[in-house]
Chain A
Amino acid sequence: MRSITSTVLSVVLFSTYVGIGALAHEARFSLGWALAGTLFVFAGPAQIILISTLGSGATVIQAAIAVTVSAIRLFPMVVSVLPMMRTPQTRRRQLMLAAHFVAITLWVECHRLLPKVPRDRRIIFVHGLGTGLVAVCLTATTIGYALAANLAGPPAAAILLLTPLAFLLSTARNCRELSDVLALLLGLVLFPVVARFHTGVDILVSGVVAGTVAYAVHWWRERR
């Protein structure tokens, strides 16, 4: 059973990165650029936002702001995972590589697997797990890029549909509170409205407004 859940998770990760590779190709980035993105960014949502903002003509600063906002969610993930690996002798710089690997998949796997690993070996374990996940993602990025370059018509469209489908469902799965569900739904609905104004930072505007409204509803319900 354990191996099945981890397989399903890596299938989802794999198809996500196939989608990212294909999207990078459609936005006319090089394969090396796409692979460098997977290696150094290693956060699916950030890569999608980067590719679609830069690809649709946003400036580097506009893209950087949108990615920075989306990347804030990595902060609580790092904060919740690192105490599981820390021993009294651990130095902070020993945790930096492990922190780089923190993204949604590793975060889920750490909570699932780390309790079974002896504490003094957990950093090593995470380095191994993270390297393995990055290798899977690099392979998937290459495959997606190659498929998009060589396919046409419906099969190519199917590869490109992987990204929105996989991200929508994995985000829906990770929703923990009402505010998360509302933010997802409002974000989907609000973007087309904001896009009509062509602000140049449509994603950012719709994201901040939808997220804040979702939070306000959460706050109002808690207070009652």
Chain B
Amino acid sequence: MSEALSHFFGDWHALLALLLAGFLPNEIWRMIGVWFGAGVDEGSELLVWVRAVATAVLAGVIAQILIQPPGALAGVPDWLRYGAVAGGCLVFLATKRSIFAGVVSGELLMLAGTWWLG
């Protein structure tokens, strides 16, 4: 039983990293929102900057996954990965910003590309 559990969760270092670098950083901001949120103006200049930085950090991670792709995605040629994402973005814009349509067409583009390449 305990062996099955340790296989399921992996080593405790990774779980500790999850607690310290995953759970706490998020929960802290949520709790600060609960305790000190009253009277903060959502449109304030500081929050505009905060949102811009948070958006750019996420954009960086998206770029990282595309440029230094993990696992099987690395087997897809660079131009096809970028092309599929660009195509998905175009469909997204053409469909009044439908995330669903953009994701589906990006995926189909990449699959069609890999099929065409053989």
Contacts and interface: CB of A to CB of B under 8 A. Distances in A.
A160 to B, nearest CB: 4
Interface stretch (A117-125, A133-141, A184-192): A184-192
B18 A99 contact: no
Interface residues of A, number: 110
Contact of A79 (B24, B37, B48): B37
A109 to B, nearest CB: 15
Interface string A13-46: 0010000000101110111110011001111011
Interface in B54-105: 54-73, 75-76, 81, 84-85, 88-89, 92, 97-100, 102-103
Contacts of B28: 68, 71
Contacts, number: 329
A73 B26 CA distance: 9
Secondary structure dominating the interface of A: helix
B67 A66 contact: no
A88 interface: no
A175 B54 CA distance: 12
Interface string A149-180: 00111101111111111111111110101011
B34 A82 contact: yes
Contacts of A50: 18, 21-22
Contacts of B98: 8
Interface in B22-70: 22-35, 37, 40, 42, 45, 47-70
A89 interface: no
Nearest to B76: A157
Given A46-B22, A72-B54, A160-B71, A15 B64 contact: no
B21 to A, nearest CB: 4
Contacts of B57: 45, 49, 66, 69-70, 187, 203-204, 207-208, 211
Contact of A211 (B22, B52, B76): B52
A44 B60 CA distance: 15
7 contacts: A43-B26, A76-B50, A79-B40, A102-B30, A154-B115, A158-B107, A169-B103
Which 4 pairs across A and B sit closest by C-beta, in order of nearness? A187-B59, A78-B33, A211-B53, A30-B10
Interface of B: 5, 7-10, 14-35, 37, 40, 42, 45, 47-73, 75-76, 81, 84-85, 88-89, 92, 97-100, 102-103, 106-107, 110-111, 114-115
